[in-house]
Amino acid sequence: MIPVMLRDVSVCFGAERVLEDINLSIGNHEFVAIIGPNGGGKTTLLNVILGLVKTSGGIVRVFGKPPEEGRKFVGYLPQRPSFDPSFPISVYEVVLMGRYRRWSLRKYTEEDMKAVENALHTVGMIDFKEKSIGILSGGQIQRVLIARALVRSPKLLLLDEPTASIDSEMQIFLYELLRKLREKMTVVIVTHDIGVVSDYVDRIVCLNRRIHYCGPPDLSEIARTYGHPVKLIDHGAHASVK
Amino acid sequence: MYVFRNAFLAAFLISVLCGVVGSFVVVKRISLMSGGISHAAFGGIGLGYFLRISDPLIAAIPFSVLSAIGIGVLSRRAKMSEDISIGIFWAFGMALGILLVNMTPGYAPNLLGFLFGNILLVSPDDIIMMLTLDIFVLVLISLFYEEFLAISFDEEFAKIVGIRADFFNTLLLVIIAISIIVMIKVVGVILVIAMLIIPAAICKQFTNSMKILMISSIFASLFLTITGLWLSFIYNVPSGATIVLISSCAFFLISLIRC
């Protein structure tokens, strides 16, 4: 089953068209970066794959199923943590939530706990497992949330600007981690770091309401297809081209 | 002494809910919404008077549950900010209550008790009702603890792992509505919100575990309620207001020391 299949997908928020004529297939163990200007629909595209946004047309299939069913194979890292940092909860409990199953009487099994430990090991946060989520730095929270996505043993990992709020050392750690993870799963990342990401990914998708480019991370080719090379790199402070 | 036994039982029964349900109200930041539900409950009490039900609180149970569902659905569906629908429900319940009490011929006994509470007027029948509702709430929370924790912490992620967030949000509001009914006899419609949030707001400053927060808030609430009860008895002043004043002062004091 192909992880993501989008055919003629469009999304409207009220009268505004946010996504139009999106045709995209992402295969097993592919590592894909989605880039594009702010407001270009990158986060919306991830939400379409997750089934959190209703499409106004087209077909969405996640592992051959509608997104609401397919998302049990999907791990997701949101752009901004949508929780209150003062919430009384430990790192361990946050990650354990990723193992939630409906209608199970014994909520969490030993297997779940082992999975949490493994996920925290993978992101290098096992020493923090009893710590409160509120005392962590931005980069540490990011790693815990990646562990929460990984603990579900996803076949598809979606990351929305994971490097936006972390320092460059953490960025390298993160990309190296993703390089390892892609051997086990498909990875889709929304990012502004075109320069860095092109060393790692198989494919880059340039999105600004429509898909303007979809192919190997060949920067000059992207620039040509995109029309304006300046536009491509002018996303924000983090963007750079080597 | 008999009166005091009931008062202590009542203090214990409301403290359990202050701790368990109040913790969710505080961490989920829905104290305003809970305030709306408690004031809307007064409409149900007015309805109870109007229908001449011997305990108007019985009529307030379905009424509060329905208003909790109403506030939940309206604040989610309506294309305006949440505080607008809360504010409207808040006043709607009070207005309806006042009108219904006014339309009921004769004197409305205990009306002030429902508004401001009186722990010394809690009857054995009240205790039975409070106990039943306590058990009901505790069973629901323990059955769906993981779900409530997940929607309180991160609703978006809860949806992704397959939790029906809208359903559990509404169920939590219903649980809050029922808890408010339990607490009305002690602190009254107007002051009830204080007891629902103060113990948990105090204890949240000292813990990073939801379960410890719940348990410590139960004890904090028990201590504040009994201290207030004792002071109101010594100085012969209204118990509900004294309990709320003691609790608020404890909150101010501890927050000042902590900052």
CATH number, domain containing residue A211: 3.40.50.300
Question: Which range is least confidently modeled, A61-65, A95-99, A163-167?
Answer: A163-167
Collapsing DSSP to helix, strand or coil, A213 comes out as: strand
Residues of B within 8 A of A88 (CB-CB) are: 27, 204, 207-210, 212-213
Chain B contact for A102 (CB, 8 A cutoff): yes
Q: Which of A88, A101, A148 sits opposite B207 (nearest CB)?
A: A88
* Confidence (pLDDT) at A48: 94
Chain B contact for A81 (CB, 8 A cutoff): yes
Q: Which tens digits make up the pLDDT trace of A24-37?
A: 999 999 999 999 88
Question: What is the rounded average pLDDT of the residues B244-252?
Answer: 96
Minimum CA–CA partner of B148 in chain A: A97
Chain A contact for B83 (CB, 8 A cutoff): no
* Confidence (pLDDT) at A233: 47
Q: How confident is the model at residue A238 (pLDDT cuts 50, 70, 90)?
A: very low
The answer to whether the CB of A195 falls within 8 A of the CB of A42 is no
* Confidence (pLDDT) at A224: 65
Residues 155-184 of chain B with CB under 8 A from chain A are 155-163
Contact A100 B159 (CB under 8 A): no
Bin A90: left if φ > 0, else alpha if -120 < ψ < 50, else beta: beta
Residue A157 amino acid letter: L
* Confidence (pLDDT) at A104: 64
Q: How confident is the model at residue B75 (pLDDT cuts 50, 70, 90)?
A: confident
* Confidence (pLDDT) at A133: 92
Q: Is residue A69 part of a domain?
A: yes
Beta bridge partners of A9: A22
Contact B212 A76 (CB under 8 A): no
The answer to whether the CB of B161 falls within 8 A of the CB of B150 is yes
Residues of A within 8 A of B207 (CB-CB) are: 88
* Confidence (pLDDT) at A42: 92
CATH top class, domain B2-258? mainly alpha
* Residue A136 to residue A127: CA distance in whole angstroms: 12
Q: How many domains does chain A have?
A: 1
Max mean pLDDT range (A99-108, B116-125, B171-180): B171-180
Nearest Cα of chain A lies from the Cα of B207 at a distance, in angstroms, of: 7
Q: Is residue A21 part of a domain?
A: yes
> What ranges do the domains of chain B cover?
2-258
Q: How confident is the model at residue A106 (pLDDT cuts 50, 70, 90)?
A: low
Percent over 70 (pLDDT), chain A: 89
Contact A88 B209 (CB under 8 A): yes
Q: Is residue A188 part of a domain?
A: yes
- How many Cβ atoms from other residues are within 10 Å of residue B179's Cβ? 29
Mean pLDDT score of chain A, rounded to an integer?
86
Contact A83 B161 (CB under 8 A): no
* Confidence (pLDDT) at A234: 44
Q: Which tens digits make up the pLDDT trace of B86-101?
A: 999 899 999 999 999 9
Question: What is the rounded average pLDDT of the residues A198-213?
Answer: 89
Buried b (16+ CB within 10 A) or exposed e, A10-29: bbeeeeeebbbebebebeee
User: What is the residue range of A218's domain?
Assistant: 4-233
Chain B contact for A97 (CB, 8 A cutoff): yes
Residues of A within 8 A of B204 (CB-CB) are: 86, 88
Question: What is the rounded average pLDDT of the residues B192-207?
Answer: 95
* Residue A182 to residue A221: CA distance in whole angstroms: 25
Helix axes B124-143, B2-27, angle to 10 degrees: 30
* Residue B8 to residue B126: CA distance in whole angstroms: 13
* Confidence (pLDDT) at A237: 39
* Residue A136 to residue B257: CA distance in whole angstroms: 24
Q: What is the largest CA-CA distance in chain B?
A: 56
Q: Is residue A242 part of a domain?
A: no
Both tokens assigned to A74 = 């999907």
Chain A contact for B78 (CB, 8 A cutoff): no
Q: Is residue A241 part of a domain?
A: no
* Residue B199 to residue B217: CA distance in whole angstroms: 5
Whether the per-residue pLDDT at A202 is higher than 50: the answer is yes
Q: Which tens digits make up the pLDDT trace of B93-144?
A: 999 999 999 998 887 777 888 999 889 889 999 999 999 999 999 999 999 9
Q: Is the ipTM of this complex over 0.95?
A: no
Got the DSSP string for A8-40?
EEEEEETTEEEEEEEEEEE-TT-EEEEE--TTS
Q: A20 vs A219, which has greater pLDDT?
A: A20
Q: How confident is the model at residue B241 (pLDDT cuts 50, 70, 90)?
A: very high
Q: A192 vs B213, which has greater pLDDT?
A: B213
* Residue A219 to residue A199: CA distance in whole angstroms: 11
Contact A52 B156 (CB under 8 A): yes
Q: B198 vs A1, which has greater pLDDT?
A: B198
Residues of B within 8 A of A81 (CB-CB) are: 154
* Confidence (pLDDT) at A188: 96
* Confidence (pLDDT) at B219: 98
CA A125 to chain centre: 19
Q: How confident is the model at residue B9 (pLDDT cuts 50, 70, 90)?
A: very high
Both tokens assigned to B57 = 């609180």
Bin B62: left if φ > 0, else alpha if -120 < ψ < 50, else beta: alpha
Q: A136 vs A82, which has greater pLDDT?
A: A136
* Confidence (pLDDT) at A151: 94
Q: How confident is the model at residue A240 (pLDDT cuts 50, 70, 90)?
A: very low
